[in-house]
Amino acid sequence: MGKVSSLKLKTNRRCIYITTIKEITEAIKADPDNAEYTAKGWDPLFHVLPTATILVISQAPGRIAQNTKTYFNDASGDRLRDWMGVTREQFYQSDRIAVMPLDFYYPGKGKSGDLPPRKGFMDKWHEPLLAMMPNVQLTLLVGQYAIKAYLGRSRQKTLTATVQNYQDYLPDYFPLVHPSPLNYGWQKKNPWFQATVVPDLQRRVQIALK
């Protein structure tokens, strides 16, 4: 990881000066709010680098991703890469694609899927990490939690309407439905997504990769 400008992070009423992504990773692990995960030997799952031109803001790592210590290392990741039009190698090794979930740890299982990301995590850690990526050209908001967090009141009344009107949020954000297998039914009901949204996404990804 390369050096970046020194950043002052306020956490628990203390000021920490961050100069590398490695240091902020250690700060996340040392945060008392994450003590439970650090005690398990879990590392925060995110990928931030100064050369990134594409940023994927997602929900939180899934169980497989956390167990393998690799973000989007599951069926959702395969589908997302398919939508983006990139290979697995490009996704992980291009030095152009960053991944920053709303929470960097697997939140556990709920009644109908994984639990939502913890509130407050994004507020503490996203801003200093975003400052480390000055070259981002395309930000993907993957799923309803990321869309709500970053679009706020500007989003449409439904997730479907927000994704269908994705051009309203460009060039800042590109909202997407979550690529989870649980959403395959949604994709069948909304064929316009594969017909119009995915091709435009792939075109913009290729431009940003160059």
Give the model's pLDDT for residue 110: 78
pLDDT in tens, 177-207: 999 988 889 999 999 999 999 999 999 999 9
**Burial of residue 133 (number of CB atoms within 10 Å: 0-12, 13-18, 19+):** buried
| Reported pTM | 0.89
Q: How far apart are CA 137 and CA 210, in angstroms?
A: 11
pLDDT over 90 percentage in the chain: 83
- Please work out, in degrees rounded to the nearest 5, the angle formed at the alpha carbon of residue 29 by the alpha carbons of 28 and 35: 115
The domains found in the chain, sorted by start residue, are 47-209 (3.40.470.10)
Q: How many helices (H) and strands (E) does the chain have?
A: 11, 8
pLDDT level of residue 113 (50, 70, 90 thresholds): confident
- H helix or E strand, kind and range, residue 22: helix 21-30
**What confidence tens digit (pLDDT) does each residue in 31-76 have?**
999 999 999 999 999 999 999 999 999 999 999 999 999 999 999 9
Q: Give the separation between CA 43 and CA 51, rounded to whole angstroms.
A: 22
